[in-house]
Amino acid sequence: MAAAKLVLAMLVVAVGVAAGEGGGKLRQGYYEQSCPRAEQIVKHYVERHVPHAPSVAATLIRTHFHDCFVRGCDASVLLNATTGGGEAEKDATPNLTLRGFAFLDRVKALVEQECPGVVSCADILALASRDAVGVIGGPFWRVPTGRRDGRVSIKQEALDQIPAPTMNFTDLLTSFRAKGLDVADLVWLSGAHTIGISHCNSFTERLYNFTGRGGPGDADPSLDAEYAANLRRTKCTTPTDNTTIVEMDPGSFLTFDTSYYRGLLKRRGLFQSDAALITDTAARADVESVAKGPSEVFFQVFARSMVRMGMIEVKTGGEGEIRRHCAVVNS
């Protein structure tokens, strides 16, 4: 059993993807000459720290996702608000992600020590996300690198472009398609919820006030009634609870596996955006195929979709810059 797990953890996924325009300029091992130890430094830091703080893994993936969906994967999500008062994407992200920013700042500092001004924050975020998945039992894959960092970050764009947990399938797919991703990417990237956690207030209306009528019985009918009752009783005991944390894949939220998909089929997806995945025929077929199969199948498709996501509207060549500190643009 332990040996089998080790093999899975070390599985190197061969990822073949049709690269998008900017994505085509990324390549594996981009820093081989300019900073040969860059990937290793990121990996070692993640391996040393994520086992003690596994929730950081979910945070890193979510941060990478948020980054790519707004202005492309250019680390704009890591920028602090400007002193001029303009709020940044960061100001639109839930507090749960704050820890990830400090983590990435520390990784960046180590990489800067080794090779100043060479490795972008956008690449560090992509690499750290990959390594964090590996540390908690998921796949390892090769991350194409060579992204450059953006110089602009605007809160409203994050509010407008990041798919909301309340979205139905149509709206989710529209949002993914706008970034060049498809139904399969939506299903596989949602699989990151296997290690997700959420505050009650992100889904509380599904428990208490789905139609706006409120009162007993106004729960989302697409959520398993027994599960909803259990959440009301033991976790989100009031409609206004905004502090209690709920695991998105209960019992297995620290392990990167396929039980999230089995939960969906039992109608126990926590967000409407999770429940939405089984409302579409094609998406549901994908969910069923990985829920039953061995983890390797999910690992391969997840890795492939992560690579595709990591290529969204990337900046390369002379675009953007290599930020010195991930929270501020170079002066």
Ligand X SMILES: *[C@@H]1O[C@H](CO)[C@@H](O)[C@H](O)[C@H]1NC(C)=O
For ligand X, the closer CB: 34 or 82: 82
Catalytic residue, candidates 64, 66, 199, 325: 66
For ligand X, the closer CB: 247 or 255: 247
For ligand X, the closer CB: 33 or 113: 113
Hey, is 57 helix, strand or coil?
A: helix
Q: Is residue 330 at the binding interface for ligand X, with CB under 6 A as the rule?
A: no
Interface residue with ligand X among 82, 168, 238, 330 (CB under 6 A) is 168
- Let me know if 66 is a catalytic residue: yes
The stretch near ligand X (CB under 6 A) out of 35-43, 49-57, 150-158, 238-246 is 238-246
Nearest one of 10, 1, 58 to 254, comparing CA atoms: 58
Q: CB 78 → ligand X: shortest distance, Å?
A: 9
Which structure tokens are listed for 329? 């643009």
Q: Is residue 174 at the binding interface for ligand X, with CB under 6 A as the rule?
A: no
Contact 97, 57 (CB under 8 A): no
Paired sense of beta strands 140-141 and 12-13, if any: parallel
193 a known binding residue? yes
Half-sphere exposure of residue 92, counting CA atoms within 13 Å on the CB side? 21
Q: What is the 3-state secondary structure (H, E, C) of 88-102?
A: CHHHHCCHHHHHHHH
Which structure tokens are listed for 189? 């990237």
241 a known binding residue? no
Q: Is residue 95 at the binding interface for ligand X, with CB under 6 A as the rule?
A: yes
Neighbours of 3 (CB within 10 A): 7
74 a known binding residue? yes
Residue identified by tokens 């996924």 is: 13
Annotated binding site for Ca(2+): 67, 70, 72, 74, 76, 89, 194, 249, 257
Residues classed as catalytic: 66
- Per CB under 6 A, residues contacting ligand X are 80, 95, 168, 170-171, 209, 212, 214, 239-240, 242-243, 325, 327-328
